[in-house]
Amino acid sequence: MGLVTGACLAHVGHRVTCVDKDEGRVAELTEGRMPIYEPGLEELVVGEVGQGRLSFSTDLAGTVHEADVVFIAVDTPQGDDGSADLSSVGAVARMVGGALAQPEARRRQRPLVVVNKSTVPVGSGDFVSMLIEEGAAEAGGAHSSTPGNNNGATVDYRVASNPEFLREGSAVYDSFFPDRIVLGADERDALDTMRALYEPIIEQTFPTRRDPRPKAAVPFVTTDLASAEMIKYAANSFLATKISFINEIATICELVGADVGSVAHGMGLDERIGSRFLSAGIGWGGSCFPKDVAALRSIAREYDHEPLLLDATVSVNERQRKGVVAKLQRELHTLKGKRIALLGLAFKPNTDDLREAPSLKIACELYQRGARVVGYDPVAGKKALGLLSPPDLLKVAFDPYEALEGAHAAVVVTEWEEFRGLDLGRVASSMKDPRLVVDGRNLLNPSDVGAAGLRYRGFGRG
Ligand code: UDX
């Protein structure tokens, strides 16, 4: 997320330095090698490095001295109790404070704007300020309780929150053409600095090859720190709830013999509902929804509030994963000794991200029931190798037909475009009876699958 943001801000005309503590990663990025698979990113990074607008460094203090704005874009992994782990955010904030207390920082003309882009619990703006102060006090050798002041050495900064809404797989596009930019800060000058920074994106004046431009202008939402932090949790939890809602409807559709695709289409045309995020199937995963919903539930509980709707959102999602196993059991009876192919391992298409990927959970459940699982993914195969233990829990194939060879059943776990074009006749002849296809994303056409001699089971499709 930091890399995408940095590269995009460089492209719109700013001078950007991306700092990472991992020297190897900094060296790789400088040479144009990407640590993740993200469409369009490599070309963008290499281009901006070539233009001299983007560079990589391990020197946080040196970068802070030069910067007008510092984005904190480190990860906030989920702790055991569901809450977000802020140790990386805290460590960076402390180092920024330390840098601001150094003599070089006295040359600063304007306050440094420290922007939280990591998803952090409501109230983290204050936490970041506190750690900047502490870091400055430690570096200056004395503690200061007055915000912005460190024993004579002025620690001049502002904290802002700028939640990130980009989606993996289309992160570059989302950064250039966002639905909105949200900025939370308690001081006017911080909002002004950030407005100026985002001006080329807000006004859509930066160079692009997209013709026509997808957006005319981008709404810039300014609010207080706590509300900005809350917007991110509310947006992701709403989307996760929307998916769980349609999955609940899908289950009822199956019982009454209705088709969830038609239901979602008919519902989605109501502008108040909207058609997006109404695809039923095995549910949501990834690096954001599971973590953010868990964090919001944990925040609510801190205040003794039971978040009933969010609890249900998670329960429905867990039930969808189990639904795959139930469908397989219903058709195969016993899973012992059965070979099952997973088509797609990444949590969604166009990424190699396996965080909270349904494929991993499903592979574990199937293995525990005595099945042999082999997975194929167009890009995430290598990352999946040896990820689960024991190593034979999930075998990885590098060709879809190889994964399907001799399989009693196949599960479409990720809706990669590639799977739409599978030669179903070839699939049927290489699989073993009952030649079952559980379509976890309602991707395939049931009649085409049936006509090829395969047995089809989707989610909520009558
Ligand atoms: C999400 C948010 O969309 C983004 O705004 C935020 O910044 C980060 O989290 P991302 O995790 O990249 O982005 O993926 P997204 O496209 O939102 O999908 C999340 C999960 O929901 C995936 O597992 C996807 O398969 C699932 N999904 C999505 C459905 O099951 N049905 C749908 O209709 C849409």
- Reported as a single tens digit per residue, the pLDDT across 181-230 is 999 999 999 999 999 999 999 999 999 999 999 999 999 999 999 999 99
Average pLDDT over residues 263-267: 98
* Alpha helix stretches (DSSP H) within 80-123: 87-100
Most confident of 164-168, 207-211, 385-389, 441-445: 441-445
421 CA to middle of ligand 1, Å? 23
Average pLDDT over residues 240-259: 98
Residue 142 above 70 pLDDT?
A: no
The sheet with strand 455-457 has its strands ordered as 395-397, 372-376, 339-343, 409-412, 436-439, 455-457
Q: Distance between CA 384 and CA 40 in Å, rounded?
A: 23
Which residue's alpha carbon is at the smallest distance from atom 7 of ligand 1?
A: 165
Average pLDDT over residues 34-53: 95
- Which of 41, 277, 353, 443 to mutate for ligand 1's pocket (most ligand atoms within 8 Å of CB)? 277
240 CA to middle of ligand 1, Å? 8
Measured from the Cα of 167, ligand 1's closest atom is 12
23 CA to middle of ligand 1, Å? 31
264 CA to middle of ligand 1, Å? 17
295 has which bridge partners?
none
Residue 78: predicted pLDDT: 83
Q: Which of 8, 18, 288, 364 is catalytic?
A: 288
Residue 105: predicted pLDDT: 85
- Please say whether the dihedral angle defined by the alpha carbons of residues 359, 365, 366 and 367, taken in this order, is positive or negative: positive
**Residue found by looking up tokens 């020297």 in the block:** 23
Residue 389 above 60 pLDDT?
A: yes
167 CA to middle of ligand 1, Å? 7
Residue 45 above 60 pLDDT?
A: yes
DSSP of 30-74, one letter per residue?
HTT--SS--TTHHHHHHHHHHHTSEEEES-HHHHHHH-SEEEE--
Which residue's alpha carbon is at the smallest distance from atom 21 of ligand 1?
A: 284
87: burial class by Cβ within 10 Å (0-12, 13-18, 19+)?
exposed
Band of pLDDT at residue 399, cut at 50, 70 and 90:
very high
Measured from the Cα of 174, ligand 1's closest atom is 5
Residue 154: predicted pLDDT: 62
Ligand 1 site, CB within 6 A: 164-168, 236, 239, 243, 277-279, 281, 283-286, 288-289, 347-348
Percentage of residues of the chain with pLDDT beyond 90: 89
Most confident of 108-122, 149-163, 414-428: 414-428
Residue 146 above 90 pLDDT?
A: no
DSSP of 242-286, one letter per residue?
HHHHHHHHHHHHHHHT-BHHHHHHHHHTSTTT-STT---SS---S
Please give the model's pTM, rounded to 2 decimal places: 0.93
226: burial class by Cβ within 10 Å (0-12, 13-18, 19+)?
middle
Residue 84: predicted pLDDT: 85
Residue 150 above 90 pLDDT?
A: no
289 CA to middle of ligand 1, Å? 7
* Weakest mean pLDDT among 5-9, 138-142, 170-174: 138-142
Which residue's alpha carbon is at the smallest distance from atom 5 of ligand 1?
A: 165
Nearest CA among 166, 138, 167, 168 for reference residue 151: 138
Percentage of residues of the chain with pLDDT beyond 70: 97
Which of residues 403 and 106 earns the better pLDDT score? 403
The question of whether 288 is a catalytic residue gets the answer yes
Residue 153 above 70 pLDDT?
A: no
Residue 23 above 90 pLDDT?
A: yes
Measured from the Cα of 279, ligand 1's closest atom is 33
Which residue's alpha carbon is at the smallest distance from atom 16 of ligand 1?
A: 167
Residue 203: predicted pLDDT: 98
Measured from the Cα of 282, ligand 1's closest atom is 30
Band of pLDDT at residue 120, cut at 50, 70 and 90:
confident
- Reported as a single tens digit per residue, the pLDDT across 275-319 is 999 999 999 999 999 999 999 999 999 999 999 999 999 999 999
Residue 458: predicted pLDDT: 97
- Please provide residue 454's backbone torsions phi and psi, each rounded to the nearest 5 degrees: -105, 155
Which residue's alpha carbon is at the smallest distance from atom 9 of ligand 1?
A: 288
Q: Distance between CA 190 and CA 192 in Å, rounded?
A: 5
57 has which bridge partners?
19
Residue 151 above 80 pLDDT?
A: no
The average confidence (pLDDT) of the chain is: 94
Return the DSSP state at 333. Answer: S
